Chains A and B, each alone.
Chain A
């Protein structure tokens, strides 16, 4: 599998580390309701098909990427850089 890094171009899978579903980018506020935290922490989708994931290009440019890919066909649909600072 090749992941097309926006900075480095198409790169081999072994340069990347999977970092789970991209929902971790939308972390609830510290004061959010317990139900929201429960949903964030435990109620994850396990889609057969299009999914949005975080991958870290650790052996390349060091960027975190949002990779949209199809878990059934392994087709990579889109890749973008994670931008912005995490909310404090």
Chain B
């Protein structure tokens, strides 16, 4: 019998230019949560009970062990890691988006400088410290940008993974060339 291997959107990409490194994030279960109108508080309580995190405020990320939750827009969040508790579906839309996203991690002292060429946000550590996340643009792509210790994590729609990697690498090359 043929066994099919699961492939990540970028096939485990890892490139370096100067002190900058761009690597694909390992596949992780992602669940999109959107509380029904008036159910935001109940959803937050259900999340706290089941996963130990509350529903994030705008721009907030929370962690509890291997569970992460990212604010992902008005009344929306992405739960990363665990399988969602069934109670969550009583309070809102719960959709598995694991296959829908591609994740990248950009590390190095000039990471914010690289993304300054692609993204309208100020992503320097002072303005965008670990624990913050934002929906914004990466070139022409909508992206979820999250600050983590030592770098930035970027998520784009899976169909745009190749373009995102190419554009970031191009910007990395230019920043690295400037020394």
- A77 to B76 CA separation, bound complex (whole angstroms): 27
A25 within 8 A of B: no
Q: Contact residue range for chain B?
A: 10 to 19
Q: Is the CB of A61 within 8 A of B120?
A: no
B58 within 8 A of A: yes
B42 within 8 A of A: no
Q: Is the CB of B74 within 8 A of A12?
A: no
Segment from B17-25, B108-116, B130-138, B167-175 that makes contact with A: B130-138
Contacts of A68 on B, CB cut-off 8 Å? none
A residues 39-65 near B (Cβ < 8 Å) are 58-63
A residues 54-85 near B (Cβ < 8 Å) are 58-63, 81, 85
Q: Nearest CB to that of A58 among chain B residues? A: B142
A11 within 8 A of B: yes
Q: Nearest CB to that of A64 among chain B residues? A: B74
Q: A15-B136, A59-B137, A63-B74 are in contact. Are A8 and B142 (CB under 8 A)?
A: no
Contact of B135 among A8, A12, A81, A85 (CB under 8 A): A8
B59 within 8 A of A: yes
A19 within 8 A of B: no
Q: DSSP class of A's interface residues: helix, strand, loop or mixed?
A: loop
A27 within 8 A of B: no
B residues 99-123 near A (Cβ < 8 Å) are 120-121
- A85 to B74 CA separation, bound complex (whole angstroms): 15
A30 within 8 A of B: no
Contacts of A8 on B, CB cut-off 8 Å? 58-59, 134-135
**B residues apposed to A, CB below 8 Å:** 37, 58-59, 73-74, 76, 120-121, 134-137, 142
